């Protein structure tokens, strides 16, 4: 899974290369509000162009549900790419139609085109073999550099690999290199921190990590089901009653394996969830076994912040996925901030798995102090579960 051929392992000069990128950037009124994903794709694109490849870029954007929708056109991406590369990247009018075929055939070495949104064709998400074959017929080599969609078995992320030699770009190489090593051969102590609202989203991750880590830290809404499993009252806090037995089993499993399982020792509570989400809110901090019946736990408490930071201090490898509280609210973001700060100050290999945790590190200005921030929330979660990602499994092994 972790030892895949990269663009440097194959001859690319003079070859037409189909590159799957993740250009699913946020737009407002047709303007790109963050070009981070485009910038992250540049090393792979620049390598191919400078080595004389004829580059055919493709990506999805949004959820057009298999229909052509100008709102999801990749035109703004083509414009931004042209600026960043200092050379024109032409957008094709279709994906595998006459325009795409003509432009791909006319490509010169060192030039690039961008195919229109692959999800404008309903066959993309169905991983339709006929569509995959047509897409592959545009090129002689396939490069996947879209980690954010590597957990999807779609035509452009996996299907085309049945018809072309397939390797990874620098972005996927980095993801599987750093995360792969952390999971298969970590420097110890290895600490994992899991947060987020629902236990059910993280069931398999918890189970997989208990076989790998020295310490597992639980925060966020999912912590209350664990606290309930210990026999504590959790007031109006988020609780998944159907998973209480599961949490009990996991605590037992941790004990059997000699893994430290840390739960919040105190909790930041309020009368209810903030509405709107960023509204000022009155909070107090109570011990985790004394949550009042009429209060809701919305963040970890101050003692817990210290406990979790201490666990990170002594670690050599740390993986973090999911916020500690209602991160969108300034009053309830303190737990998440304290974890981000602990990772930033740590000398360990620190890995943040996409989504809200990544956003927290970016917003707080800690991003450059973290070893690796994953570009894919869903993909990094499935990676932590120990699942095989179709967009990586389809690539050739070294």
* 152 Cβ contact partners less than 8 Å away, ≥ 6 residues apart: 125, 158, 390, 391
Which of 289, 40, 223, 252 lies closest to 145, judged by CA? 40
Examine the pLDDT at 134 and tell me if it is beyond 80: yes
Examine the pLDDT at 90 and tell me if it is beyond 90: yes
Average pLDDT, the chain: 95
What is the pLDDT at residue 2? 74
What is the pLDDT at residue 1? 66
**Residue 108 buriedness (CB in 10 A; 0-12 / 13-18 / 19+):** exposed
DSSP string, 67-92: S--GGG-SHHHHHHHHHHHTS--EEP
Summarize pLDDT for 348-383 with one digit per residue, the tens.
Answer: 999 998 778 888 898 889 999 999 998 887 888 888
User: Which domains, from first to last, does the chain contain?
Assistant: 7-171 (3.40.50.1260), 178-385 (3.40.50.1260)
C-alpha span between 9 and 383 (Å, rounded)? 24
Summarize pLDDT for 214-255 with one digit per residue, the tens.
Answer: 999 999 999 999 999 999 999 999 999 999 999 999 999 999
* Tokens encoding 211: 């076989």
* 245 Cβ contact partners less than 8 Å away, ≥ 6 residues apart: 229
- How far is CA 372 from its chain centroid? 11
Share of the chain above pLDDT 90, in %: 86
Treating both helix axes as pointing N-terminal to C-terminal, what angle do 170-184 and 36-50 enclose, rounded to 10 degrees?
A: 110
Let me know: does 295 contact 270? Beta carbons within 8 Å: yes
What is the pLDDT at residue 179? 87
DSSP string, 278-311: TS----EEEETT---TT-EEEEE-HHHHHHHHHH
Q: Check residue 369 and report its DSSP letter.
A: G
Summarize pLDDT for 142-176 with one digit per residue, the tens.
Answer: 999 999 899 999 999 999 999 999 999 999 999 88
User: What integer is the mean pLDDT of 276-297?
Assistant: 97
Q: Which residue has the higher pLDDT, 355 or 79?
A: 79
Report pTM. Answer: 0.88
Residues tagged active-site: 37, 198, 355, 378
C-alpha span between 155 and 146 (Å, rounded)? 13
Summarize pLDDT for 259-274 with one digit per residue, the tens.
Answer: 999 999 999 999 999 9
What is the pLDDT at residue 201? 85
The residue written with tokens 């085109």 in the block is 113
User: What integer is the mean pLDDT of 58-67?
Assistant: 97
Any bridge partners for residue 286, and if so which? Answer: 267
Q: Phi/psi at 355 (nearest 5 deg)?
A: 55, -145
How many other β-carbons are positioned within 10 Å of the β-carbon of residue 331?
Answer: 18
Which of 238, 294, 282, 293 lies closest to 264, judged by CA? 238
Summarize pLDDT for 309-329 with one digit per residue, the tens.
Answer: 999 999 999 999 999 999 999
C-alpha span between 128 and 174 (Å, rounded)? 29
Q: Phi/psi at 234 (nearest 5 deg)?
A: -115, 15
What is the pLDDT at residue 353? 86
Based on DSSP, count helices (H) and strands (E) in the chain, helices before strands: 13, 17
Summarize pLDDT for 271-285 with one digit per residue, the tens.
Answer: 999 999 999 999 999
User: What integer is the mean pLDDT of 96-120?
Assistant: 98
Q: Check residue 397 and report its DSSP letter.
A: B
């Amino acid at each position: 899974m972790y030892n895949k051929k990269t663009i440097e392992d194959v001859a690319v000069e003079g070859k037409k290369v189909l590159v799957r990128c993740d250009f699913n950037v946020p737009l407002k009124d047709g303007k790109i509000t963050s070009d981070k994903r485009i910038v992250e794709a540049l090393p792979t694109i620049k390598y191919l162009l400078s080595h004389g490849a004829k580059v055919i870029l493709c990506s999805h954007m949004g959820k057009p549900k298999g229909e052509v929708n100008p709102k999801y056109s990749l035109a703004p991406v083509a414009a931004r790419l042209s600026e960043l590369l200092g050379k024109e990247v032409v957008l094709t009018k279709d994906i595998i139609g006459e325009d795409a075929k003509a432009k791909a055939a006319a490509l010169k070495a060192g030039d690039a085109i961008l195919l229109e949104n692959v999800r404008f064709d309903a066959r993309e998400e169905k991983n339709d073999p006929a569509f995959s074959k047509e897409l592959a017929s545009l090129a002689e080599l396939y490069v996947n550099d879209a980690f954010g969609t590597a957990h999807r078995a779609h035509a452009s992320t996996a299907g085309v690999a049945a018809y072309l030699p397939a390797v990874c770009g620098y972005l996927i190489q980095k993801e599987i290199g750093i995360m792969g090593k952390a999971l298969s051969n970590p420097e110890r102590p290895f600490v994992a921190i899991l947060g987020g609202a629902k236990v059910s989203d993280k069931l398999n991750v918890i189970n997989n990590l208990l076989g790998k880590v020295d310490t597992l830290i639980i925060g966020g809404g999912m912590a209350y089901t664990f606290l309930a499993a210990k026999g504590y009252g959790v007031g109006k806090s988020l609780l998944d009653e159907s998973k209480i037995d599961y949490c009990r089993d996991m605590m037992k499993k941790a004990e059997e394996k000699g893994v430290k399982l840390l739960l919040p020792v105190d909790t930041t509570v309020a009368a209810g969830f903030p509405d709107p989400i960023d509204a000022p809110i009155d909070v107090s901090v109570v011990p985790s076994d004394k949550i009042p019946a009429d209060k809701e736990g919305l963040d970890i408490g101050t003692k817990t912040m210290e406990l979790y930071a201490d666990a990170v201090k002594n670690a050599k490898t740390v993986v973090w996925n999911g916020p500690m509280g209602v991160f969108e609210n300034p009053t309830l973001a303190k737990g998440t901030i304290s974890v981000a700060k602990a990772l930033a100050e740590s000398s360990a290999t620190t890995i943040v798995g996409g989504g809200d945790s990544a956003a927290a590190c970016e917003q707080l200005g800690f991003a450059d102090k973290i070893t690796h921030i994953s570009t894919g929330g869903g993909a990094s979660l499935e990676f932590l579960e120990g699942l095989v990602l179709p967009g990586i499994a389809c690539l050739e092994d070294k």
